[in-house]
Chains A and B, each alone.
Chain A
């Protein structure tokens, strides 16, 4: 089983729609979680951190479910510019843990 798993997609949704992705992780002791966005042939860029209480940044909402070991990303009122690959990122339990990326979920917003 992969340490971090995501549905690869692609998700193809119309502009203005709401779309949600999940990401599961295998290590129950993982301590930090992030969503990164990656455009084609570019480097990943931090979209948002994921906090236990859930957090929102504009149209984006991230949530963590420790009991079921998944994190989610919700995008409301999607824009054409949201088209990208969204990477789930997990930091392990100790200060010496490495950062693990999921394979990414591709999102395509159509006009």
Chain B
């Protein structure tokens, strides 16, 4: 499978614990995005990278959230001291941004439940 891969697919954690999600983008894609989605809402932008550089972070991304893409390939999203409001699906997407466009492709998402 050469699509965007995310793991774990499901995570249940107790409030206050830390969680980390990993995303492996499509190999030739230079951009990688993280979104959060709750039921009935569209994906909310969290942050994105071009290669290893983090170009933008949403104000939604509190200091408990951190994302990295150390070698410009896979990325991790860590949530520290989780809260019940963090329960959502965390979507990773990647794209090959060039003058021909910027179509993005999503992974299947990582579902987080904070209890």
Residue positions of A touching B, CB distance < 8 A = 4, 6, 8, 32, 34, 41-46, 49, 87, 91, 95-96, 98-104
- Flag whether B101 is at the interface (Cβ < 8 A): yes
What DSSP secondary structure best describes chain B's contact surface? strand
Given contacts A46-B104, A102-B42, A103-B42, 9 further A-B contacts (CB under 8 A): A8-B40, A42-B108, A43-B107, A43-B109, A44-B106, A46-B103, A87-B43, A95-B97, A104-B41
Q: Which of A99, A103, A104 contacts B104 (CB 8 A)?
A: A99
Which A residues are in CB contact (< 8 Å) with B107? 43
Most chain A Cβ neighbours within 10 Å, of B40, B42, B56: B42
Which B residues are in CB contact (< 8 Å) with A95? 97
Q: How far is the CA of A107 from the CA of B107 in the complex (A)?
A: 23
Residue positions of B touching A, CB distance < 8 A = 33, 35, 40-45, 48, 50, 55-56, 89, 91, 97, 101-109
How far is the CB of A81 from the nearest CB of chain B, in Å?
20
Contact call A49/B103, Cβ cutoff below 8 A: yes
Contact call A34/B56, Cβ cutoff below 8 A: no
Which A residues are in CB contact (< 8 Å) with B103? 34, 46, 49
Interface CB pairs A-B, < 8 A, 13: A6-B42, A8-B40, A34-B103, A42-B108, A42-B109, A43-B106, A45-B106, A91-B102, A98-B45, A99-B33, A101-B42, A101-B45, A103-B40
Q: A43-B107, A95-B97 are in contact. Are A32 and B102 (CB under 8 A)?
A: yes
Q: Which of A4, A34, A43, A100 contacts B91 (CB 8 A)?
A: A43
Q: Which residue of B lies closest to A3 (CB)?
A: B45
Contact call A101/B43, Cβ cutoff below 8 A: yes
Contact call A46/B105, Cβ cutoff below 8 A: yes
Top 3 A-B residue pairs of the complex, sorted by shortest distance between their CB atoms: A101-B42, A43-B106, A103-B42
Which B residues are in CB contact (< 8 Å) with A103? 40-42
How far is the CB of B11 from the nearest CB of chain A, in Å?
15
Contact call A100/B108, Cβ cutoff below 8 A: no
Q: Which residue of A lies closest to B56 (CB)?
A: A98
Q: How far is the CA of A6 from the CA of B43 in the complex (A)?
A: 13
Q: Which of B43, B50, B97, B101 contacts A44 (CB 8 A)?
A: B43
